[in-house]
Amino acid sequence: MMMSAPRFISRLIERLPKVRGRYSENATIAGITWFRVGGPAEILFRPADEADLAAFLQRKPADVPVTVMGVGSNLLVRDGGIAGVVVRLGRGFAAIDVDDMQVRAGAMALDYNVALTCRESSLAGFEFLSGIPGTIGGGLRMNAGAYGREVKDIVTSVHALDANGIAHELDSSAWGPCYRGCGVPDEWIFTRAEMIGVPGNQSEITRAISYVQSARADTQPIRSRTGGSTFANPDGYKAWQLIDQSGCRGLTIGGAMVSKKHCNFLINTGTATATDLELLGEEVRLRVLKVTGIELEWEIRRIGMPIESAHV
Of 46, 180, 192, 225, which residue is the catalytic one?
Answer: 180
Quickly list DSSP for 111-176. HHHHHHHHHHTTEES-GGGGG--SBHHHHHHHT-EETTEEGGGTEEEEEEE-TTS-EEEEEHHHH-
Close Cβ partners of 278 (under 8 Å, ≥ 6 residues apart) = 76, 78, 302
Query: Is position 299 annotated as part of the catalytic site?
Result: yes
Of 73, 121, 229, 246, which residue is the catalytic one?
Answer: 229
What is the spatial distance between Cα 26 and Cα 85, in angstroms, rounded to a whole number?
Answer: 10
202 within 8 A of 163, measured Cβ to Cβ = no
What is the spatial distance between Cα 203 and Cα 1, in angstroms, rounded to a whole number?
Answer: 49
76 within 8 A of 278, measured Cβ to Cβ = yes
Query: Is position 4 annotated as part of the catalytic site?
Result: no
What is the spatial distance between Cα 146 and Cα 133, in angstroms, rounded to a whole number?
Answer: 10
Query: Is position 229 annotated as part of the catalytic site?
Result: yes
- Which residues are marked as active site? 180, 229, 299
